[in-house]
Amino acid sequence: MQIRELSIPDAYVITPKQFGDDRGTFLEWYRFDTFGDAVGRPLDLRQGNTSVSKRGVVRGIHFADVPRGQAKYVTVAHGAVLDFVIDIRVGSPTFGQWDSVLLDQQDRRAVYLSEGLGHAFVALTDDATVTYLVSDVYNPSAEHAINPLDPEVGLVFPAEAGELLLSAKDTEAPGLSESVAAGLLPTWDATRDYYDSMSKVGS
Mean of pLDDT values over 21-26: 95
Grouping H, G, I as helix, E, B as strand and the rest as coil, residue 12 is strand
Nearest to 88 by CA among 144, 6, 131, 166: 144
132 classed as catalytic = yes
Domain spans of the chain?
43-194
Nearest to 176 by CA among 154, 142, 148, 146: 146
- The CATH code of the domain at 43-194 is 2.60.120.10
Q: How far is CA 145 from CA 42, 100, 169, 170, in A?
A: 26, 18, 8, 6
Nearest to 195 by CA among 68, 73, 47, 30: 68
Q: Which of 12, 62, 144, 195 is catalytic?
A: 62
pTM: 0.94
62 classed as catalytic = yes
- For residue 118, give the amino acid letter: G
- pLDDT of 172 above 80: yes
**pLDDT one-digit tens code per residue, 95-137:** 999 999 999 999 999 999 999 999 999 999 999 999 999 999 9
Q: Which of 112, 132, 194, 195 is catalytic?
A: 132
**pLDDT one-digit tens code per residue, 58-101:** 999 999 999 999 999 999 999 999 999 999 999 999 999 999 99
Distance CA 110, CA 85 (A): 12
